[in-house]
Structure 1
């Protein structure tokens, strides 16, 4: 197996120059650098990245924790992060918490042991997080993604969830709905959902209506129609619901249609996230779009700035309403569960 000295001899440079060509290529003249790289290619030589990391005390790795990879929101974020990180010479170490706050500390501890240069995390509740309490005592740069900044003290990349929840509710109000509800997964596992519900309440009170209690499902992305059934019958039955993520909205639409409900004639359903799948189902999902790729890119750029010692306080990124067929004007048609 070829070594660095063999590469240096073939390229006609010193061993130190050959090493510098791989570790700090910008410090080597382009013609010299190319000779070294050509020699390495001829000899099938690959530099020892681990040894370089030990010498520099930097792994060029970013630790990333997301709740799940089942949700396209996080997959799209990670794809954008990977491209942005690779362009700057970094790689990602990715793991999932499965929406479990109890797993978060173990995950972060393992990433710190692997000497990541920085952390990008989505935690259950940034305002009350054991893992963030621990990270305040660490020197490893860290930022949050999707979590509202709250009082955590950590930089957070994402949209203004309260404002987005308000805009979603105002859209339904403008269509004539007044009996509007909100559906979410376990609220204690998502401070984002809390903020979106807060925005919903703000818009309802602003319009002179009483907000409904949040309807919680057992899982974040899977609807259980039984949990919503009491709100769908009687004179005060809901005419519209906002789900706190698109997968939950899509799941709810499926459950409703299996029971004979028509969306949006019997119930308008709105999502939150703006995943591509929502455009391709029928009826197409009306939703609040988050700029998922921009969130991923901004997270990498901000974290690398922090690693360099710079102070960064990015503003919330913009959200947008994506209209769809799953939302319409309220009708006076009565409907009984289990009939068509």
Structure 2
């Protein structure tokens, strides 16, 4: 007996797209719909209507998985996605993972039990993630937020993390700094942090300078003065730092000030994210700005298109530098040290 998988193969679409064509033909592109119907006629396929309705009833729910809501980037992203989804008649269900790959598997399964129509995911590592591999094999619609995956079957919306951190490092180089280090969370567990470290290395190499190993902090958003102190002394002391995210930069500035180090007079500090909080502190935070609102809207548009049968695509949005008081030129740093 012919089954839906054979129809999908003949039509050149995924099984999920073939199923949606029979369940909700109005949400599938006309050309795709005709391909599926033509394949079904050729194979003599007649779907079981009751079974199809039970399996594919649209819930108008989207599952969203983020590492946490302590980082304002993810909170701002969720709020913007919620607005975009609501305009299209969808609601969001949220789960957090605290950067745990094991937790990712659990929360995705929980959301699928809620019969979400699709998923928006920010995971620890998009390149070797079993959850993503499973979703892809099952034709479950999902879009990655903030990732730049190498797998062409994965739909993703991101900024260019590597280029963004290279931009930040060049910003400091152009200000005369040459002893620049990078601070990140434990063992670069985040693939975004690894790309950002690669961007830092790119810019240092272009300038003919040696990059340093990443200065590791106890958590992605928590700095420790003891970890940075050895790099602040001696003839090779650092004059500037780039941080893998804004909250880590803010935490680092606080740790430095508690230990009588002045930012930017003794050390320039730069973040990555562009969260609003950075503009409300003193000194204001110089940062690489991610277009969170645009990213969130693009993610929702892309996921709904995929639910309707579109093929996965990848978008990489531009970022830019937001100047702030947490950095100054190397000449100013020298002048301050002599004052």
The TM-score, its normalising length taken from structure 2, stands at: 0.81
| Contact 1:125/1:188, CA 8 A, preserved across alignment | no
User: What is the distance in 2 between the residues matched to 1:308 and 1:151?
Assistant: 21
Question: Which deviates the most, 298-307 or 126-135?
Answer: 126-135
Deviations 1:288-313 (A, max 9, x none): 00011111111100000000112352
Deviations 1:39-89 (A, max 9, x none): xxxxxxxxxxxxxx9696111100100000111100111011101111111
The equivalent residue for 1:178 is 178
Aligned length: 285
Question: What are the equivalent positions in structure 2 for 1:16-35 lying under 5 Å apart?
Answer: none
User: What is the distance in 1 between the residues matched to 2:169 and 2:56?
Assistant: 52
| Contact 1:162/1:196, CA 8 A, preserved across alignment | yes
The equivalent residue for 1:97 is 97
Offset of 1:140 from its aligned partner? 1.4
User: What is the distance in 2 between the residues matched to 1:312 and 1:124?
Assistant: 20
| Contact 2:149/2:156, CA 8 A, preserved across alignment | yes
RMSD of the TM alignment (CA)? 1.9
SS at match of 1:332: helix
The TM-score, its normalising length taken from structure 1, stands at: 0.80
| Contact 1:187/1:193, CA 8 A, preserved across alignment | no
The equivalent residue for 1:69 is 69
The equivalent residue for 2:219 is 219
| Contact 1:178/1:209, CA 8 A, preserved across alignment | yes
Classify 1:287/1:188 alpha carbon distance in 2 versus 1 (closer, same or farther; 3 Å).
Answer: closer
| Contact 1:284/1:324, CA 8 A, preserved across alignment | yes
| Structure (1 or 2) with the larger CA radius of gyration | 1
| Contact 2:153/2:312, CA 8 A, preserved across alignment | no
User: What is the distance in 1 between the residues matched to 2:61 and 2:204?
Assistant: 45
User: What is the distance in 1 between the residues matched to 2:191 and 2:205?
Assistant: 21
**1:125 and 2:125 are equivalent in the alignment:** yes
Deviations 1:17-45 (A, max 9, x none): xxxxxxx9x9xxxxxxxxxxxxxxxxxxx
User: What is the distance in 2 between the residues matched to 1:87 and 1:327?
Assistant: 40
The equivalent residue for 2:149 is 149
User: What is the distance in 1 between the residues matched to 2:280 and 2:151?
Assistant: 39
The equivalent residue for 2:334 is 332
The equivalent residue for 1:196 is 196
Classify 1:150/1:334 alpha carbon distance in 2 versus 1 (closer, same or farther; 3 Å).
Answer: farther
Runs (5+) with no aligned partner, structure 1: 1-23, 27-52, 336-340
The equivalent residue for 2:88 is 88
Runs (5+) with no aligned partner, structure 2: 1-23, 27-52
| 4+ aligned runs moved over 4 Å, structure 1 | 53-56
Offset of 1:186 from its aligned partner? 2.0
Offset of 1:150 from its aligned partner? 2.7
**1:297 and 2:294 are equivalent in the alignment:** no
Question: Which deviates the most, 309-318 or 275-284?
Answer: 309-318
Offset of 1:332 from its aligned partner? 3.4
SS at match of 1:315: strand
Offset of 1:156 from its aligned partner? 1.3
User: What is the distance in 2 between the residues matched to 1:233 and 1:334?
Assistant: 16
Deviations 1:246-267 (A, max 9, x none): 0100010011011111101110
